[in-house]
Homo-oligomer: A and B are copies of this chain.
């Protein structure tokens, strides 16, 4: 019989090696915020396949393009789009100079906080508000306004900065893809210049890899000082069929992986999957009312004006081999720790 001290020592050593092995395993896991399951496996398998030199699915690093929708895919989009909160804050500031807004939609609904009516005007209505609240100044002034706002503005329910509500599992996917030679791009229906001031800090995606909807700018030299002046006119709506168009204009290559969460992303996923070779298309499905939100008629959840996920999208995902990520089941953690 071994002295009990000796047994204790052996047990301690065994335990230590298990702990070491477990941490090594955890350290090796590029997606620790994902529960084991089909979604996580699809990502890991895809990356393994396209990076294996000599393998049948190998893709050269310069062709490893991945695109991400922003609202609802990388960060919270409920109860309303974050950029809309920003626009409403600005609208209230500017309202005294625009009495006509009191009776003119979509401004009326916006000022009255009637999100239901506002939602009915869709991306186009949103961009009308964007045009009046985001224009009439230089690009540099706008960047300063956005940076100041985003630095302090908090989500009403979670009481955290909007930029702290980027989904941790998606941040891990971006890191994982970048570590495997991918170029990662944001392709958002939201405004390009609303995102660029903070995407590098929050997502590690630099300004030049961000595309989105935009308003026109004009080059002016005022008092010897060149500036780009933001005009109240929409240049491009980067949503639905606009997403492949925007991807082509901005990136000039077809993605091999695309991530979205709504019917505004369907065409991006179609376009991605229609290319040759191995591809990955994923949709984040908001089915977690406890930790985040649940919306979309698919799976019997309520409809929404921000981030629509109709049954037809679920059907298309199923018939097209797109992976639907269940926020409730696939994500062990949703937000980065406080």
Contacts and interface: CB of A to CB of B under 8 A. Distances in A.
B226 A267 contact: yes
A241 B219 contact: yes
A253 B143 CA distance: 11
B214 A249 contact: yes
Contact of A271 (B183, B196, B219, B251): B219
B206 A62 contact: yes
A82 interface: no
A228 B250 contact: no
A219 B244 contact: yes
B226 A271 contact: yes
A252 interface: yes
Interface of A: 62, 65, 139, 183, 185, 192-193, 196, 200, 206-210, 214, 217-219, 221, 225-226, 228, 235, 241-245, 248-253, 267, 270-271, 274
Contacts of A244: 219, 226, 228
Contacts of A207: 251-253
Contacts of A217: 245, 248-249
18 contacts: A65-B208, A139-B248, A196-B252, A208-B209, A208-B250, A208-B251, A217-B249, A218-B241, A218-B245, A219-B241, A219-B242, A219-B244, A219-B245, A221-B270, A225-B274, A226-B244, A226-B267, A228-B244
Contact of A248 (B228, B252, B267): B228
A267 B219 contact: yes
User: Which 8 pairs from chain A and chain B are nearest by CB?
Assistant: A207-B252, A219-B241, A196-B252, A226-B274, A219-B244, A208-B251, A226-B270, A226-B271
Contacts of A243: 219
The quantity of this chain's copies bound in the complex is 2
A235 to B, nearest CB: 8
Contacts of A210: 252
Contacts of A219: 241-245, 267, 271
A207 B252 CA distance: 5
Nearest to A272: B226
A124 to B, nearest CB: 17
A53 B193 CA distance: 29
Contacts of A208: 65, 183, 185, 208-209, 250-253
A64 to B, nearest CB: 11
Nearest to A221: B270
Q: Which of A207, A209, A267 is most buried by chain B, counting CB atoms within 10 A of its CB? A: A207
A266 to B, nearest CB: 11
A192 B228 contact: no
A76 B244 CA distance: 33
B253 A228 contact: no
Contacts of A65: 208
Contacts of A245: 217-219, 228
Contacts of A200: 62
A221 B316 CA distance: 14
Given A185-B208, A235-B249, 16 more contacts: A62-B206, A65-B208, A139-B248, A192-B252, A196-B252, A207-B253, A208-B208, A210-B252, A217-B248, A217-B249, A218-B245, A219-B245, A219-B267, A225-B274, A226-B270, A228-B271
